[in-house]
Amino acid sequence: MANTVKTAILLGLLTALVLLIGSAFGEGGLLGAFIIAVIMNVGSYWFADRIVLRMYHATEVGPDHVLSRITARLVARAGLPMPRVYVIPDPSPNAFATGRNPQHAAVAATEGILQLLSEPELEGVIAHELGHVKHRDILISTVAAMIAATVMMLANLARFAAFFGVGRDDRQEGPGPIALLATALLAPVAAMLIQMAISRQREFAADRSGADLVGSPDGLASALRRIDSAVRRVPMDANPATAHLFIMKPFPTAGLLSLFSSHPPTEARIRALLGTR
């Protein structure tokens, strides 16, 4: 129940950001943002998983594929329904799970991760993703991705409007360009912080669940180390709004930006995993 309340609060905050940006355009903008927020929340519940899979050109694979065989073995052990299994045509190693519930879940992995990892390591990764499915993280993560993408899109629109002088002056209703620009710059940062709050602890929980499902933390710990190193060499051209979906942030960050990462530090995850022996 606490997890459900936290989820509702976090998604409410992301929705409030959409309304905040809309309000920067005046009453008409607020009404438009409210309509967008309603459509976005309803639509993302039913269609966000398909949108994300299509965004990354994922292709469903059959039961004979190694990814499907590993997944089938693990879901039988976990007592979960068999999810749809997809491969993403990208050389950067990564994976994610999506869907609105375990009965409508999907697991996706890149071609890069299939080439990089051994089968025990890949098993650890898929077990991690099934941990997200079991804990029902996949709905909040996918919906948050869609809302965050909308926040960023509206923020870009607000920046464009501010630069071209859209907004009020002292004689007009609505915000001034400076207020519009400030809203446009701060909203994506707020969306990033909310994504971080959604994602970080859930990654630790999914790591523990994956290790328990496989029976050992070694495969997942080794996979995390290898993925982290490979992502630095071959980053993924991923939408930042969807970064928290992946098992590893799909592009490296440094300096102050690393403080706002959607994922915990890889070494901290590995220490937590190996400390559970």
Q: Is residue 130 a contact partner of residue 95, using CB atoms and an 8 Å limit? A: no
> The tokens 């080794």 sit on which residue?
222
Question: Which is catalytic among the residues 121, 123, 129, 203?
Answer: 129
Catalytic residue check, 173:
no
Q: Encoding tokens for residue 114?
A: 């299939």
- Give the residue from 170, 78, 23 showing the smallest Cα distance to 107: 78
Strands lying side by side in the sheet with 105-110: 59-60, 84-88, 105-110, 95-99
Q: Which residues are catalytic?
A: 129
